[in-house]
Amino acid sequence: MTDVDLIAQFESGENTPSSFHHADHIRLAFEYLSRYPTVEALSRFCQALKKFVASQGKPGLYHETITCAYLFLIRERMASVGNAVTWDEFSAGNPDLFIWEGGILDAMYRPETLKSDFARHTFVLPDRMR
């Protein structure tokens, strides 16, 4: 499947929850950020993810803070090694982004922050660094 096909499949809602995992989110975020300026990529990705979870009958799964934090982390990492990095190079060089439980966001956010309804609906800046 090409990168363009991956985005098209995601935006159409064809993926099923059992075949769409954290690593797939990271890959898609990388593809959006490779094609669009950061703010446009964020907007497009968030809209597509909201549509996707709604099509699966689970709109409550969308989490604004987690989604935005990962996109900004991915963007920062891409820029730090040069924007021409390939997916294979990026994924090999950033294994910490693929750890869901006990991953990078746990170092940045208090658990109660990420579990809050406020963080689910509004992007919250990291609060372990304040």
pLDDT of residue 15: 60
The answer, yes or no, to whether residue 121 has pLDDT greater than 80, is yes
Higher pLDDT, 104 or 9: 104
Higher pLDDT, 16 or 108: 108
Query: Cα separation of 16 and 46, whole Å?
Result: 18
Buried b (16+ CB within 10 A) or exposed e, 86-111: eeeebbeebeebeeeeeebbeebbee
pLDDT single digits (tens) 4-22:
888 888 888 666 555 678 9
The answer, yes or no, to whether residue 100 has pLDDT greater than 80, is yes
pLDDT single digits (tens) 45-92:
999 999 888 888 888 899 999 999 999 999 999 999 886 789 999 999
